[in-house]
Amino acid sequence: MDFEMEEVDCPICEESRGNPLHLEGSFRMVRCPSCQFVFLNPRPTMDSLLRFYQEYLPEEVPSIGSWEKMMKPVFHRAADLLKQYRGNGRLLDVGTGFGFFLVEMKKRGWEAAGVEISQKAIDYARDVLGLTIFPGPLEKVALPDNDFDAVTAFYVVEHLSHPMAFLRECHRILKPGGLLLLRYPHTTPIKNLLQFLGIKNRLYDLPAHLSDFSPKMIQQCLKRIGFEKCKHSIGGYTLPGELGKRTSSILFGSFAETLFSLSGKKLLFPGVSKTVLAFKGNQK
């Protein structure tokens, strides 16, 4: 697919310069000299991205089934994590895809709705699974203030043109004391290592991913918006259909989790997806 590209300022601090960091084909990741954020520049325009996401998810039933299987361990883990803080309540899952996390949470007694931009995913979630889905992006749905006990977004934040606006919107729609759960990849340290070793790769998944958050960066963004008590965790794994990918996901996920636990919950192994929880303060 052809993308219409545009040059942008740093999506976090609006600095206009960016230092080239890595190339994947014709796509270039840069690092902001001011806040250190790593992002794609130039990047596809919003219109190009909206077209791209109409084709992003699979359409055939077996592929949808593989998708469900791949994400299941991550969704179970996240549901268990949420349960430590809330037994049930109102939940919004942003970038919900076919809606499998909503199904899991409804089973656990939550009132759950999703936001999604892919029309075929919306149709499946509504028609096949009978779920409540708002067509996205989130900022256009205009949900009321203080409405949800929990907002979740799995592998979403790295796809967004305006991550700060998204996080601000999550904060606004959460009830005081509500919690946000984000899961995101963290790829730059592994890219640096592979570059050092001269190994070519496309780990950033460009141009689908527009940025690469480090745990430190995501925590800074959440705090700046007013979230409190950010807690990171690591590990868990997906189950892709391909055996090689599945094995490496399980191995690295489990390895990272062991290191995290042995280090007294301090070492967030790079290159492995992370989950962060953040809370909206109790004051109205």
Residues lying near Zn ion in the complex (CB under 5 A): 10, 12-13, 15, 32, 34-35, 37
What would the two tokens of residue 218 be?
A: 């995501």
Q: Give the whole-angstrom CA distance, residue 138 versus residue 116.
A: 8
CB nearer to Zn ion: give 35 or 57.
35
CA–CA dist 44, 7 (Å, integer): 9
Residue 225: CB minimum distance to Zn ion, A: 16
Closer of 15 and 242 to Zn ion (Cβ): 15
What is the full DSSP assignment across 89-129?
-EEEEET-TT-HHHHHHHHTT-EEEEEE--HHHHHIIIIIT
Measured CA to CA, the distance from residue 17 to residue 42 in angstroms comes to: 12
* Sequence-ordered list of residues with C-beta below 8 angstroms from that of 21, at least 6 positions apart, any chain: 28, 29, 30, 31, 38, 188, 191
Q: Which of residues 57 and 164 has its CB atom nearest to Zn ion in the complex?
A: 164
Partner residues linked to 182 by β-bridges: 153, 276
Q: Select 37 or 204, whichever has its Cβ closest to Zn ion.
A: 37
Nearer to Zn ion by Cβ, of 34 and 219: the residue is 34
Please report which helix (H) or strand (E) contains residue 229, including its range.
strand 227-234
CB of 163 to Zn ion, least distance (A): 12
DSSP H helices, 61-213, are: 61-83, 100-107, 119-123, 138-141, 163-173, 188-196
Nearer to Zn ion, 173 or 217 (CB): 217
Contacts of 211 (CB under 8 A, 6+ apart): 11, 37, 38, 39, 40, 157, 158, 160, 163
Rounded least distance, CB 210 to Zn ion, Å: 14
Selection from 109, 96, 110 nearest residue 67 by Cα: 96
Of 43 and 90, which CB lies nearer to Zn ion in the complex structure? 43
To the nearest whole angstrom, how small is the minimum distance from the Cβ of residue 35 to Zn ion?
A: 3
User: What does the alpha-carbon distance between residue 191 and residue 21 come to, in Å, rounded to a whole number?
Assistant: 10
